[in-house]
């Protein structure tokens, strides 16, 4: 339980309301400022402790237009879905406040108490550790997470159950528990104590004290808007640039055998992707004109258009900039989408955003660990992450740029930015080297493919997909 800095005291309700509204609007005005943040309030606790009443009262004290509330019944964890996936779209933007009644901790308790084989303590604690890591990533990306447990003694709970209108009983089945069962109550209390050491615990015996404690904690959180650090600590150690980037392979595929081999591999890849029980995410990065579009075209050639989704990633929109960097990718990788392909990806933070100064040193240096956790969560939820860097020599890129300018049906592919990016060629190689060194993992390895010869590159990409799926 978090320690109180000062002893709690009841406030005049009118003054409390004024303070809350002022702080609410100050928070709203931080958007896109050096101290910008949003507030995510995770609410859990004992049934009939008064969670709903406290939030209702809070809404009466603040401007209700700018306090969003999301309430869902808890669900058991799905092995093919990360714990955060169903909540990602509700992560508030800078200046916003969101209350989540249903949240990943509610789901954890539901899973722990209702599976036929209960979660062992190690697995339970692993979930908690992953949740806290996710919350820390949120905080690092300007989402202030405050977690509040509404507690109630067994004796008081039973009295409130006795006094409850029978017509309301159906609304009070949190986790599907029998709240008359002392053993279940004790088990819930035992389990929540494994994760609530960093939560605010509110004793809900007195309703007025409960509501004001809740509101005052929110007020303190709203008012705390420090300027974010933007200078990294320590000197950055540059990774060695791989030879595969400095001297891409120039081996040329046999023209006579290419079409036949491509046809065979395209069919095998389609079957492997279609019949694999796991979801698959394929991400392409690399220099301009390296052949990302052509490679993607060959991957999906034998697939039905309804079987896959392709995302072409450009600069983030304004509404995306107000949320955590990975937010737009969290919401593009959906459990129901079997195959998801990215033409450029979340690695933009450590590539173009780093090089062009769109992300400060703290943001892009922190991003490696954030990305690794993101990919590990996908891996743990039965998603195969296949990552390609398409390497090309500088001379070959220049030839392709000129060919695009001369071909009417390809002219749209070349822009002034493409030529300008060539001036930062060495910077991109250095950034890519750092990326490989820090994000090449056993669960999401990098594959560097030379694309000086498009035909051999396409074959290698298809072969690599089969190998990582273990379908070759």
Q: Do 193 and 304 fall into the same domain?
A: no
Q: Do 385 and 417 fall into the same domain?
A: yes
Q: How many CA atoms does the CB half-sphere of 5 hold within 13 Å? A: 3
- According to the model, what pLDDT value does residue 4 have? 44
- According to the model, what pLDDT value does residue 220 have? 97
Whether residue 175 lies inside any domain: the answer is yes
> How far is the C-alpha of 34 from the C-alpha of 229, rounded, in Å?
9
Domain that holds residue 96: 13-223
Q: Do 148 and 22 fall into the same domain?
A: yes
Q: Do 353 and 454 fall into the same domain?
A: yes
Q: Do 186 and 125 fall into the same domain?
A: yes
- According to the model, what pLDDT value does residue 472 have? 67
Q: The domain that contains 122 carries what CATH number?
A: 3.40.50.300
CB atoms within 10 A of CB 166: 6
Domain boundary among 223, 255, 290: 223
Q: Do 217 and 290 fall into the same domain?
A: no
Taking only the tens of pLDDT, the chain with its 472 residues reads 444 445 789 999 999 999 999 999 999 999 999 999 999 999 999 999 999 999 999 999 999 999 999 998 888 898 899 999 999 999 999 999 999 998 999 999 999 988 777 788 999 999 999 999 999 999 999 999 999 999 999 999 999 999 887 766 655 554 567 888 999 999 999 999 999 999 999 999 999 999 999 999 999 999 999 999 988 888 999 999 999 999 999 889 998 899 999 999 999 999 999 999 999 999 999 999 999 999 999 999 999 999 999 999 999 999 999 999 999 999 999 888 899 999 999 999 999 999 999 999 999 999 999 999 999 999 999 999 999 999 999 999 999 999 888 887 777 878 888 888 899 999 999 999 999 999 999 999 999 999 999 999 999 999 999 999 997 6
- According to the model, what pLDDT value does residue 176 have? 64
Q: Do 404 and 255 fall into the same domain?
A: yes
Q: How many domains does the chain have?
A: 2
Question: 297 and 330 in contact (C-beta within 8 Å)?
Answer: no
Model confidence, pTM: 0.93
- According to the model, what pLDDT value does residue 169 have? 62
Question: 456 and 255 in contact (C-beta within 8 Å)?
Answer: no
Question: 456 and 261 in contact (C-beta within 8 Å)?
Answer: no
Q: Do 263 and 199 fall into the same domain?
A: no
3-state SS, one letter per residue, for 256-305:
HHHHHHHHHHHHHHHHHHHHCCCEEEEEEEECCCCCHHHHHHHHCCCCCH
Whether residue 317 lies inside any domain: the answer is yes
- According to the model, what pLDDT value does residue 165 have? 76
Q: Do 83 and 211 fall into the same domain?
A: yes
Q: Do 216 and 284 fall into the same domain?
A: no
> How far is the C-alpha of 338 from the C-alpha of 276, rounded, in Å?
9
Q: Do 436 and 399 fall into the same domain?
A: yes
């Amino acid at each position: 339980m978090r320690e109180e800095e000062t002893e709690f005291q009841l406030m005049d309700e009118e003054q409390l309301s004024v303070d809350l509204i002022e702080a609410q609007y100050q928070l709203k005005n931080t958007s896109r400022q050096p101290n910008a943040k949003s507030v995510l309030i995770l609410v859990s606790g004992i049934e009939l402790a008064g969670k709903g009443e406290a939030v209702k009262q809070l809404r009466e004290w603040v401007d209700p237009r700018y306090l969003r509330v999301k309430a869902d019944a808890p669900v058991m964890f799905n092995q093919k879905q990360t714990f955060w996936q169903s909540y990602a779209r509700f992560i508030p933007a800078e200046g916003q406040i969101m209350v989540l009644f249903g949240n990943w901790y509610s789901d954890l308790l539901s899973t722990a108490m209702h599976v036929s084989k209960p979660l062992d303590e190690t697995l339970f604690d692993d979930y908690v550790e992953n949740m806290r890591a996710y919350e820390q990533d949120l905080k690092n990306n300007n989402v202030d997470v405050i977690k509040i447990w509404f507690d109630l003694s067994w004796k008081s709970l039973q009295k409130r159950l006795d006094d409850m209108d029978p017509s309301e009983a159906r609304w009070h089945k949190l986790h599907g528990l029998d709240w008359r069962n002392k053993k279940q109550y004790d088990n819930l209390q035992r389990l929540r104590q494994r994760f609530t050491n960093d939560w605010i615990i509110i004793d809900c015996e007195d309703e007025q004290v409960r509501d004001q404690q809740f509101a005052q904690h929110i007020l303190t959180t709203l008012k705390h808007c420090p300027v974010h650090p933007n200078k990294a600590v320590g000197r950055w150690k540059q990774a060695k640039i791989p030879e595969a980037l400095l001297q891409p392979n120039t081996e040329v595929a046999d023209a006579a055998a290419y079409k036949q081999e491509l046809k065979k591999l395209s069919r095998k890849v389609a079957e492997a992707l279609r019949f694999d029980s796991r979801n698959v995410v394929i991400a392409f990065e690399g220099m301009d004109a390296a052949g990302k579009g052509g490679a993607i075209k060959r991957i999906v050639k034998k697939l039905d258009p309804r079987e896959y989704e392709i995302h072409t990633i450009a600069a983030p929109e304004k509404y995306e900039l107000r949320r955590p960097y990975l937010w737009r990718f969290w919401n593009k990788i959906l459990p129901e989408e079997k195959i998801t392909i990215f033409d450029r990806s979340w690695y933009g933070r450590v590539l173009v955003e780093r090089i062009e100064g769109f992300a400060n040193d703290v943001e892009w240096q922190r991003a490696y660990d954030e990305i690794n956790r993101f990919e590990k969560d996908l891996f743990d939820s039965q998603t195969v992450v296949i990552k390609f860097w398409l390497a090309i020599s500088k001379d070959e890129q220049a030839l392709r740029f000129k060919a695009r300018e001369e071909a009417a049906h390809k002219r749209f592919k070349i822009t002034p930015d493409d030529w300008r990016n060539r001036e930062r060629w060495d910077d991109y190689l250095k950034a890519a080297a750092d990326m490989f060194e820090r994000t090449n993992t056993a669960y999401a390895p990098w594959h560097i493919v030379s694309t000086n010869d498009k035909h051999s590159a396409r074959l290698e990409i298809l072969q690599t997909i089969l190998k990582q799926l273990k379908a070759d």
